[in-house]
Structure 1
Amino acid sequence: MRVLSVIGNRLTGPLPEELGDLASLRQLHLTNNPGLSGPLPERLTALTGLQELLLNGTDLCANADAGFQAWLSGVQLAQVRACKAARGSGAYLTQAIQSSAFPVPLVAGDAALLRVFVTASRSTSEGLPPMRATFYLDGVETYVADIPGSGTPIPTDVEDAERALDKSANIEIPGSVIQPGLELVVEVDPANTLDPGLGVAPRIPETGRASVRVEAVPALDLTVVPFVWAAGSDLSIVDIAEGMAEDPQGHEMLWHTRTLLPVRDLDVKAHEPILTSTTNVVTLYLETALAWTLEGRRGRYMGIMPAYVIGGQSGIAAIGGFYSFSVADPFVISHEIGHNLSLRHAPCGGAGGPDPAFPQPDGTVGNRGYDFRGSGALVSPRAADIMSYCGPPHWISGYGFTKALNYRLRTETDANASAVASASTPVPAGPPTRTLLLWGGADAQGEPFLEPAFVLDAPPSVPPSDGEYELTGRAETGDELFSLTFDMQETVDGDGESAFVIALPAPAEWVGRLASITLSGPAGSTTLDRATDRPMAILRDPESGRLLGILRGPSSGDPVRTAASAGLAAAGAAGSELEVLVSRGIPAAPPR
C-alpha cells in the first residue's frame, strides 16, 4: 500500500502501531478526524519512504524525542503538532504565511518578518521590553537584530499576541540572513528591567537554538506567450508580456506569483506574439502546449490573452504540468502556475476536483499571513486560498505553500534549470529532426479529438509508452505504420478536458504512405484520413523554429494577409519569409 487516506472518517483513539509495518507507504492522510488523539507510535519511524503525513484536525501529536524528530524532518510534507506545545512566549519567521503549530518553511534569500510573542503570567500595564535576536548559520553567528520595546502592554496569551502586529515585537530580517542551516535565539529584556514576578521568559527557546527550515529554490523559468486574435487588432497583450519579461520582480501581473508561491527569482522571457484564430481557452491551452513542444520543452510556458477577448476571468492548467493558459490577470496567472506546481483546488466557490487533504473545509488559508507592501500588514486567516474560486482577498495557506515548495525541490533538481525531468515529463529535447506532429485531446465527455497533423522539423517528443489512449497510423493498404499508447494529463479549471502534443520521429519510408491516423480511448475513437477537410496553417520562424501562428479555416488560406490585418509583421526574426505549413488533416511530406 502506497497511499492511505481516511480523511473525515470519524476515526477515534490512538494511531495503531501496526501502521509502521506498511513499508511501502508514501502518503498517510488522516485530516479532520478530531477523535484521533495521542502521540504518534514510535514504529512509524520504520516508514522510511513516507512523503506526506497530514494530521490537521486531529489531536495526534509528535513526541520531542530526537530520533522521532529526525525521522519527521525527513517527511516532505508533515502537518503534525508537537505533543508538548510551547506555552508562554514564542517566535517565528514569516514570509507569506506562518503557523506555530505547523511551521511553514522559508525560501532562501527572501526577506522575512521576525515576530516575537512575549507573554506575562498575569495582566500587566508593563510594555513590551526590548529584545535581541541572534541568528546562526551552521552554528556560526551571522546576524544580530535589536528590537526596541513598545508601550503595548505585554499580552498574557500567545494567540492574542498573534492577532495584531502591535502586540508582538517585529523586525524585518534581510534575505541574506535567510539561508539553509538557519538557527535563532531571542533574548527578551537583555537589561533585566522587568519584574521577575511577571513570569516573562528571558530566552526563546529556553535552551539551545530554534532551528528554522529554509530551502533554496532555483529561479522559476517562465516563457510568457502572448496570443493575438486574428479577428482583432489589439496588440496590448504583447506589451504586457514584454513588460513582464523586462521587470519580473516588479510587474503587477506577477505579484501574486512572487509573493504567494515558493518563488524567489523569476526568469521571464517574452515569446514572440502567436497569431491565433481562436479565443477558446482549451484550444489556446493546446496551442501553448504546441509551442512548448516544438521549441524544445524547456522551462514553463504560459499563454496569455486579454480577459475582454476571452470573455472573463479564465485559465487552464494540468496538475504538475509545464504549460498553462491564463487571461492577463495576476490572480489567475498565479492560480494556474500553482496547478503546475502540484496544487489542486481549495474547496470554495465550486472549484472542481478540490484537494481532499486541504486542511480548512471552507477553503480559507487558516493562519495569519503577512503582506510586506507599504508599512506591512497581517492577512486574516479568513482570506480565501489562492487555489480556490473564492475571494478576494486571496492569499496562500501554509499547506499549499509547503506542498508547492516540496514539489519544486523534488522535481527541479538542477539549481541552474527550472524544468527538469520527472517520471511523467520528458527531458528537454534534442536537436530538431523530421517529425510527424500529432496533437489533440479528449473533450469534457472524454471523447477524443485530433487536430490536423503536420510533417515538420522539430525536437522529437514521445510520451512514456503506457496508457489508455492509442494512436495508430496506417497506409492506404491498411498496413500499420506506427502505433503508440500513452496517457493524457487531465486539466483543471476547464471541464475535465485533456490534451497532448507528440512529435513522432517520421522515417522517410512511411511519411508519404500515411493515409489515416486514429486516436482511440475509453470513450471512443476519431480518425483523420485523406477525406478530412479542416484547413490549418502553422507559421514559424524559419531560422529559430519558433511558433508564430496557428490559423484555422478561412484565415489559413492567406496567412500573410491575416497577420498583416492583425497588426503583426509577416516575417521571421531576421526579416526572412515565414515558414508556412499547411494541412487539411493528413499532411503531405514537405521537401527536404
Structure 2
Amino acid sequence: MAGLPDGSAASISVSGPAGFARIVTGSVTLSGLSLGTYDIAVSPITVGTDRYEGSSSAPNVTVAGGATANANVAYLIASGAIAVSASGLPAGAAGDVAITGPSGFARTVATGSTLGGLAPGRYRLSPTAVTVEDATYAPMTPSVDVVVAASATPAAAAFPYQLASGTLIVSIAGLPGGMPASAIVAGPNSFRRTVTSGDRLANLVPGTYTITADPVTVGADAYGVAAPVSVVVLPSAVPHSAALTYALATGRLTVTVIGLPSGSNAGITVTGPQGYARAVTATQTLVGLAPGQYTVAADGVSATAAAYGASPASQTVAVAASTTPATATVSYAVTTGALTIAVTGLPQAVAAAITVAGPNGFSASIATSTTLIGLAPGSYTLTAANAVAGTHRYAPTPSTRTVSVAAGDTPTATAFAYALASGGIALTVTGLPTNVLASIAVTGPDGYSRAVTATTLLLGLTPGTYTVVSQAVQSGSAAWAPNPQSQTVSVTPSTSAVTTTVNYVTATGALALTVSGLPIGVSASVSVTGPNAYSHAVTASATLSGLVQGSYTVVAGTVSSSGTTYTPSATSQNVSVGGGATSSISVTYTGSAPPPPPPPSGLNLTIDGMHIQQVVQTYGGTVPTITGRNGLLRVFVKANGANTATPAVRVRFYDGATLTNTITINAPGSAVPQAVAQGTLTSSWNYLIPSASLLPGLRILADVDPNGTVVETSETDNTYPSSGTPAAIDVRTVPTFSIRMVPVLQSATGLQGGVTVGNAASYLADTRALYPLDAVDVDVRAPFTTNSDTLKSNDANGAWNQILSEVNALRAADGSTRYYYGIVNVSYSSGIAGLGYVPGRAAIGWDKLPSATGVMAHELGHNFGRFHAPSCGAGGADPSYPVAEGRLGTYGYDLSSNALKDSARYDLMGYCNPTWISPYTFTSVLSYRTSNPINATALVAGNSSRRGLLVWGRVQNGQVILEPTYEVDAPPSLPQRPGRNRLQGFGPLGQVLFDLPFDGERLADHPDGTAQNFAFVIPFDMMRGQEPTLVRATAGAARAEFGSTAAVATTADVPVAERIGAGAVRVRWNGGSTRGVMVRHPATGDILAFGRGGEATVYTAESTLDIVTSDGVRSERRRIGVGGAPPSRRR
C-alpha cells in the first residue's frame, strides 16, 4: 500500500474462501491462506481535514499452493483547503467571513483560520464589519472568489479592513449656579440620543449631527439656546466636539396698585407677546415674561360701599430680558356712592316690594334690608308696594321717598316700615255630606266676590264688612237649607281669621210605606206623587228617602193573584213629608176570593222562583254572578196545600243552546212548603255550582217532579221558567284585584304595622268574601318609616292624614297600578281605625285583627267609589242608598259556612254592626271596578317609566301643605279631569312649564270633611326640556309654593347617617337649603322613608343608603355610608 501520509491507516477489505475476511490498514503479507480467489476492496479515508481515495492493481487475486500472490493499492488526495487572512484590524481582532461553494456548501469562519476538506471547485468569501472598543472597521473588499483544487496546499484569501466610525463629545454652558441641562443629538439613520454636558457618543455613523436644547427655568427666569449646533462626524479615532451655550431669555414686570381700601381687589389685566394674559388684583411682580411690549389695562372696581376708577386705564411697558423688572403703576380713586335701605315690620322670609330708580336708567328691586353700592351720584326715587306673605298683605309707610347719593365711602340711609293690612274669614260649613257642595257667596270691599262650596279660609282680605249669603242645595232627591241664609262679618288687620259658620240642615224627609195583606210574591200596585213632579211606583213595603218637603199623595190599586182579588183599604191618601223626619203611611190589602173551586183531586206543585247566591242576592236574582267563585243555586218550590210530598227537582245547565250538564236535587224536607221562605235554606232545593261551571253564557232550566212520582192536578206548570226556555244567568268576568300592603313603622313610637307575607291573607278575608272579586294578587312591601307625629284617635295632629298622603306618594313614585294599603299599629283601642280616598287607590288602617279585616274592607269600599251607608251616624252618607238605616234589605250568604245572613244586617259601608254587603254596594263596586279601574289619575299615552317630578301634598283645615318634590323614574300620573285646585311649575324666567287644574282625592272617615290629598308624577318631557325653579299649589285662597335655592351643594349640605340601634338609622342634613329627603334602599330602590326639618329616622339594617335631597323643587341623589362612610353622588 502507498500514497498516504506517514502514520495514516488505510481501509482495505480482503475476503476469500471458507468465509475469510480481514481489514488491512497498511502493507502486509497474509499467510496460511486457503487456496482460491480473494477479493480486495479499498475504502476512502480522511486524514485531518483531507480526504484520500484508493484503488487496487488487481481487484481479485488467486492464491496457489506454495506461492505468494501480490496486490498493489495506491491512495491519492481528493479534497482541498482555503487559508483566510485579514489586515488593518487592531491586534487580536478577527472578522467573520461567510463562505459558500459547490453542492450548497455554506460556512462562516474567522479571519486567520484555514478551512479544509473542501470539494474541489469555486468558492465565494464575503467578510463582515468588525466592532472593536466602540469603533467599527469595514472590509475594503465586499467579496472574493477562490478556486480550490484537490491538494494539500490551501488556496489563499486575504481581506484588508479600514476604520468606518467616529466619536462626538457635547459640552453645555451658560446656566447659573451649575444648573444641570440636557440636549438632544440627532443624526443619520434616525439616530436620536439625550445627553448632558461632557457625554461622549462613540461608534457614530459618519455624517452630519444636530444638537438642540429646550429652554430651562431657573427660579423665576428662563434661559435658552439661540440656535441648534451642527457637526460633521468623520471616521476617525480622534473625537469631534460640539458646544451649546445658554443665555437669559425672559424679563420681569412690577405692577404697583395704589388707592384701594385694604383687602379690596383691583381689576387689572396684563397682556403681551405669545398670547400672554394675566389678571392682577394687587401689587405684584410678574416673572418669566417673553421680551416685548406689554399692555396694562385697568377696570373700575367695587370696594366696600363704593366704586373706584383706575388711572391710567391703559399703558404700554417694554420688557427686556433681564432680572431687573420693568414697572407700571395704577392709581384708583372713589367715583360712586351707596344707599342703605332699612325694611321693618315684615315677618321673617316675607319679601318687601321696593323699587329704586336713579341716574343713567338705574333700576333695582329690593326685598329686604340691604345696601346698594356702586351708585352714580345723583337723585334716587324709592317706591314701596304692598308685600304679600302667603295670603296676608302688608302696607308700607311711606310709599315713596327721594334721596340724594354722593360719591364717597359713607352710604346714604333711608327706611320703610311695613304693617299688616289684611285679614281673613274662616268659614266653616257643616251639615252636608262630603259629596255635596255648598252654595255660598261672600262679598266685600273693593268689589270682592267669592263663591264657596265647602269649609275654607278666605285670606288676604281688605279690612271692612263682608256679607255671607247662603243658598239651599240639592243632590238627587235630597235637599239641605242653610242657617243663617245671610250674615255680615267684620274683618280687621290680623293674621288670625274671623270665624263664622253656615250650618246646613236637611230640607228633605223620608216616607216609610208599609204594604200588608198580600201573599209573598204578589206585588202591590201603589204610586207616590208629590212636589216637583215626583212620582214613584211601589210594589212592596219600602222607605222612600230624600223627599223634598211638602204633601205627597199615595194611590193604591187592586191586584189579583191566583183567582183572588186584593183591594186596598184606601185608594188615595195624603201625607206630609219634610224637615228631616220620616213620615209613615200604610196600605192594607184585603182579599175577596172567588167561589171556591171544586175540591182538587190532588196536589199541585210549581216552582215560584230560582236564583244563584254567592254573597248577597235578591229574590228575583238581580245581583250578577261572578266567575271564579262557587255559587249556591236555590230553587223555590211551592205546593197548593198541605202535603207530605218529597219531589225531586231536575236542573239542566246550558252554554247558550248547548246542554252541558243535568243534575237532580232531592227534597230538603218531609213536605213541600206552601209559601216561599227565602231566609231559610231548608225551604229551597239547593245545589252548589262549582266555579268552573259559572261562566258567561250560562242558562238554567228547572223541573219539579220530572218523573211524575207525585200525582198532581196539573203537570203543565212544573217547569221554571214556565215558558220552557232556559233562564239566562248574568255571569260577569272581573279583572284581577292587585293590592300591595305597606307595613308602616312610626319613628315617633317605634310601632310597626303587623302585616307580613304570612298573615296578609287574614287582612283580606272580608275583602275576598264580600266584594265581587275573582283573582286577588297581593304582595307585602318593605317596611316604610314615617316621621309623622304619634297617631291620635281623632287625628287632632293630622298624623293619620300625613301617613295616608305618604302611602299615596309611594304608590305614585313606584309607578304601580296596584292599590296601596298601609298597615299601622296604634296605641288606642277606640277611634279612627282607617282612612281611605273616595274614590282612589290608597288607604290605611290599623292592624288589630280580627277587626282589621273589616276596617280594610270598609276603606277599600271607599277606594271603590262608595260613600257611607246611612247607619249609626256615618257622615257623608250616600243619599241614594235604597234601604232605611243602611240595612241589607235582602239575604246575604256566607259560602264558607253555608249560612244565610239576615236581611236586617247593616251594609259594611256604615258604622252599625253586624255587617254584610248589600246588593246596592255589591253591584256598585262591580260597576266601578269594571268601568273605572283607575280613577284618581289618567294614564298618559306611552305610559312607560321615565324621568318625572313627584309633586304631592294635601289640603287640610283650609291650608295647602305642599311637600318637597323629588325626581323619580316612574310612569306619568296626571290629573284625570280639571278641578277647582291648581298645580303650577315655573322656569327660571317665570315661564309656565306646567299648569294643571285638579281636584284632590277626598278622604272618608276623617273629622275634616274638606280634607283632600294629591300625588302626581309630572314627566320632564312635557316641560319642553326645562326644569322648574318654582312649584306652586293653590286651593281657593290658600296657596303654598317652593322655590329652588339653586345653590351648589357644600359639605354641610351632604346628609350624614348614623346608626342609633340594631335596626335604626338617624339621617341628618342642613335644614336650610334642603327642605326634605327621600331615603331609598341601595339595592332595590324602594322608598324607605320621607324626612323633613333636618332630621329623619329610618328603620333598616343596611350599611349604605341612597338619599335624595330636595330644595323643594330640584333634587339630587347620593349614596352615603351609615356611620360616616364617605358619600358618593349618583344620578
Select the structure that is richer in strand.
Answer: 2
| Residue 838 of structure 2 corresponds to residue 319 of structure 1 | yes
For CA contacts below 8 A with separation 6 or more, give which structure has more relative contact order: 1
- Equivalent residue for 1:138, pick from 636, 648, 656: 656
* Contact in 1 for aligned 2:645/2:710 (Cα 8 Å): no
* Contact in 1 for aligned 2:821/2:842 (Cα 8 Å): yes
In the alignment, what sits opposite 1:348?
A: 871
1:326-351 Cα deviation digits (max 9, x unpaired): 22311111112112222221111222
Question: Residues 403 and 167 from structure 1, CA distance in 2 versus in 1: closer, same or farther, beyond 3 angstroms?
Answer: same
What is the TM-score when the length of structure 1 is the normalising length?
Answer: 0.75
| Residue 816 of structure 2 corresponds to residue 294 of structure 1 | no
Task: Give the 5 Å matches for 1:99-178.
Answer: 99-101=618-620, 103-122=622-641, 124-158=642-676, 161-178=677-694
Aligned-residue offset at 1:241: 3.5
In the alignment, what sits opposite 1:229?
A: 746
- Equivalent residue for 1:365, pick from 888, 897, 906: 888
- Equivalent residue for 2:953, pick from 440, 464, 467: 440
Q: CA–CA distance in 2 between the matches of 1:294 and 1:428?
A: 18
- Equivalent residue for 1:581, pick from 1108, 1115, 1124: 1108
- Equivalent residue for 1:242, pick from 737, 757, 764: 757
Q: CA–CA distance in 2 between the matches of 1:519 and 1:403?
A: 33
Q: Give the match's secondary structure for 1:243.
A: coil
* Contact in 2 for aligned 1:152/1:166 (Cα 8 Å): no
| Residue 997 of structure 2 corresponds to residue 485 of structure 1 | yes
| Residue 1015 of structure 2 corresponds to residue 504 of structure 1 | no
Select the structure that is richer in helix.
Answer: 1
What is the TM-score when the length of structure 2 is the normalising length?
Answer: 0.41
- Equivalent residue for 1:258, pick from 745, 755, 768: 768
In the alignment, what sits opposite 2:855?
A: 332
Q: CA–CA distance in 2 between the matches of 1:118 and 1:379?
A: 21
Question: Residues 36 and 298 from structure 1, CA distance in 2 versus in 1: closer, same or farther, beyond 3 angstroms?
Answer: farther
- The answer for unaligned runs of 5 or more in structure 2 is 1-473, 479-508, 512-526, 536-543, 548-552, 558-583, 586-605, 792-798, 1046-1070, 1118-1129
Aligned-residue offset at 1:387: 0.9
In the alignment, what sits opposite 2:930?
A: 409
Aligned-residue offset at 1:472: 3.2
Question: Residues 106 and 509 from structure 1, CA distance in 2 versus in 1: closer, same or farther, beyond 3 angstroms?
Answer: closer
Question: Residues 448 and 154 from structure 1, CA distance in 2 versus in 1: closer, same or farther, beyond 3 angstroms?
Answer: same
Aligned-residue offset at 1:526: 2.4
Amino acid corresponding to residue 882 of structure 2 in structure 1: P
Task: Give the 5 Å matches for 1:40-79.
Answer: none
Q: CA–CA distance in 2 between the matches of 1:308 and 1:152?
A: 56
1:527-580 Cα deviation digits (max 9, x unpaired): 334799685331123554322222344642xxxxx33xx4x3236xxxxx3211
Question: Residues 508 and 117 from structure 1, CA distance in 2 versus in 1: closer, same or farther, beyond 3 angstroms?
Answer: closer
Amino acid corresponding to residue 615 of structure 2 in structure 1: A
In the alignment, what sits opposite 1:386?
A: 908
In the alignment, what sits opposite 2:917?
A: 396
Aligned-residue offset at 1:5: 3.4
Amino acid corresponding to residue 918 of structure 2 in structure 1: S
In the alignment, what sits opposite 2:1077?
A: 537
Aligned-residue offset at 1:128: 4.1
In the alignment, what sits opposite 2:1091?
A: 551
Question: Residues 196 and 522 from structure 1, CA distance in 2 versus in 1: closer, same or farther, beyond 3 angstroms?
Answer: same
| Residue 990 of structure 2 corresponds to residue 469 of structure 1 | no
Aligned-residue offset at 1:222: 1.0
In the alignment, what sits opposite 1:218?
A: 735
In the alignment, what sits opposite 1:93?
A: 612
Amino acid corresponding to residue 570 of structure 1 in structure 2: E
Amino acid corresponding to residue 365 of structure 1 in structure 2: L
Task: Name the larger-Rg structure.
Answer: 2
Q: CA–CA distance in 1 between the matches of 2:832 and 2:756?
A: 18
Question: Residues 187 and 427 from structure 1, CA distance in 2 versus in 1: closer, same or farther, beyond 3 angstroms?
Answer: farther
Amino acid corresponding to residue 998 of structure 2 in structure 1: F
- Equivalent residue for 1:209, pick from 720, 723, 726: 726
In the alignment, what sits opposite 2:703?
A: 187
Q: CA–CA distance in 1 between the matches of 2:979 and 2:556?
A: 42
In the alignment, what sits opposite 2:339?
A: none
Aligned-residue offset at 1:518: 2.6
| Residue 521 of structure 2 corresponds to residue 5 of structure 1 | no
Amino acid corresponding to residue 227 of structure 1 in structure 2: V
Aligned-residue offset at 1:313: 5.0
In the alignment, what sits opposite 1:43?
A: none
Q: CA–CA distance in 1 between the matches of 2:747 and 2:756?
A: 18
Q: Give the match's secondary structure for 1:467.
A: coil
Q: CA–CA distance in 2 between the matches of 1:353 and 1:186?
A: 45
1:404-441 Cα deviation digits (max 9, x unpaired): 112222234xxxxxxxx569533598444443322112
Q: Give the match's secondary structure for 1:285.
A: helix
Question: Residues 32 and 93 from structure 1, CA distance in 2 versus in 1: closer, same or farther, beyond 3 angstroms?
Answer: farther
Question: Residues 199 and 344 from structure 1, CA distance in 2 versus in 1: closer, same or farther, beyond 3 angstroms?
Answer: farther
* Contact in 2 for aligned 1:447/1:523 (Cα 8 Å): no
In the alignment, what sits opposite 1:574?
A: none
Aligned-residue offset at 1:382: 0.9
Aligned-residue offset at 1:508: 10
Question: Residues 405 and 474 from structure 1, CA distance in 2 versus in 1: closer, same or farther, beyond 3 angstroms?
Answer: closer
Q: CA–CA distance in 2 between the matches of 1:406 and 1:307?
A: 34
1:309-333 Cα deviation digits (max 9, x unpaired): 7975522222231222222311111
Aligned-residue offset at 1:235: 4.8
Question: Residues 553 and 201 from structure 1, CA distance in 2 versus in 1: closer, same or farther, beyond 3 angstroms?
Answer: farther
Shifted more, 292-301 versus 422-431: the winner is: 422-431
Identity of aligned residues (%): 29
- Equivalent residue for 2:824, pick from 305, 310, 322: 305
Aligned-residue offset at 1:88: 6.1
Question: Residues 491 and 429 from structure 1, CA distance in 2 versus in 1: closer, same or farther, beyond 3 angstroms?
Answer: farther
Q: CA–CA distance in 1 between the matches of 2:786 and 2:942?
A: 25
Q: CA–CA distance in 2 between the matches of 1:522 and 1:461?
A: 23
Q: Give the total of aligned pairs.
A: 500
Amino acid corresponding to residue 1038 of structure 2 in structure 1: G
Q: Give the match's secondary structure for 1:192.
A: coil
Q: CA–CA distance in 1 between the matches of 2:690 and 2:943?
A: 41
1:116-164 Cα deviation digits (max 9, x unpaired): 1111122x14254221211111121222222112334322222xx2121
